[in-house]
């Protein structure tokens, strides 16, 4: 799996840490970190939460590496 550098950069642009996002989404630090690092794929409900939080299309999880 490929790292989601675009997601990491988006988070950093907004001034959030991985812990901030994990807390906001109600998931563990390691789970969110795994999503950013491409080790884990989010479930559809979680992908929707992340995309809504950052204001991008949920399809980006499939389209963007």
Q: What is the CATH number that goes with domain 5-58?
A: 1.10.260.40
Give pLDDT tens digits for 2-61: 789 999 999 999 999 999 999 999 999 999 999 999 999 999 999 999 999 999 999 888
What pLDDT does residue 65 have?
61
Q: How many CB atoms lie within 10 A of CB 48?
A: 13
Q: Which of 49, 17, 18 minimizes the C-alpha distance to 31?
A: 18
What pLDDT does residue 45 have?
95
What pLDDT does residue 32 have?
97
Q: How many CB atoms lie within 10 A of CB 7?
A: 22
Give the C-alpha separation, 1 to 18, whole Å: 19
**CA angle 44-48-51, nearest 5°?**
135
The radius of gyration of the chain from alpha carbons, rounded to an integer in Å, stands at: 10
């Amino acid at each position: 799996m490929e790292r989601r550098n675009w997601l990491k950069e988006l988070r950093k642009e907004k001034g959030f840490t991985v812990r901030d996002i994990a807390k906001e989404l109600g998931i563990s630090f390691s789970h969110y970190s795994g999503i950013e690092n491409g080790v884990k794929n989010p479930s559809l409900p979680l992908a929707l939460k992340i995309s809504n939080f950052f204001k991008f299309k949920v399809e980006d999880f499939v389209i963007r590496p």
